[in-house]
Amino acid sequence: MSAVHIADIDGDGVLDLVLSNSLTGDVQWYRQNKPDSFSSPTTVLAGLPGVVLVKVADISADGIVDILSIANSRFRLLVSS
Ligand SMILES: [Ca+2]
């Protein structure tokens, strides 16, 4: 199962895609370059099989979004800098 989330990951004012894949355990970010055109994926989290939930929010309250992933009662937090 995969999930798609939409958020402006790099703060350029253009929405990007974050995809999670529960089989591979990877969470990947696709930067939107222009309308309907996305970059090659960047793996931001790997090795978390069963990932079922990804939240994109400014958890550290620094104005930059962070990515939280949860799988099998384990979580990983990628804090942007
Ligand atoms: Ca963006």
12-39 burial, b for 16+ CB within 10 Å, e for fewer? eeeebbbebebeebbbbbbbbeeeeeee
At residue 71, does pLDDT exceed 90? no
The stretches of 1-81 forming alpha helices (DSSP H) are: none
Residue pLDDT, tens place only, 18-60: 998 888 888 899 999 988 899 999 998 888 888 877 888 888 8
Distance 36 CA to ligand 1 centre (A): 13
Distance 32 CA to ligand 1 centre (A): 6
Higher pLDDT, 24 or 1: 24
At residue 65, does pLDDT exceed 90? no
Mean pLDDT of 7-14: 89
Distance 71 CA to ligand 1 centre (A): 26
At residue 5, does pLDDT exceed 70? yes
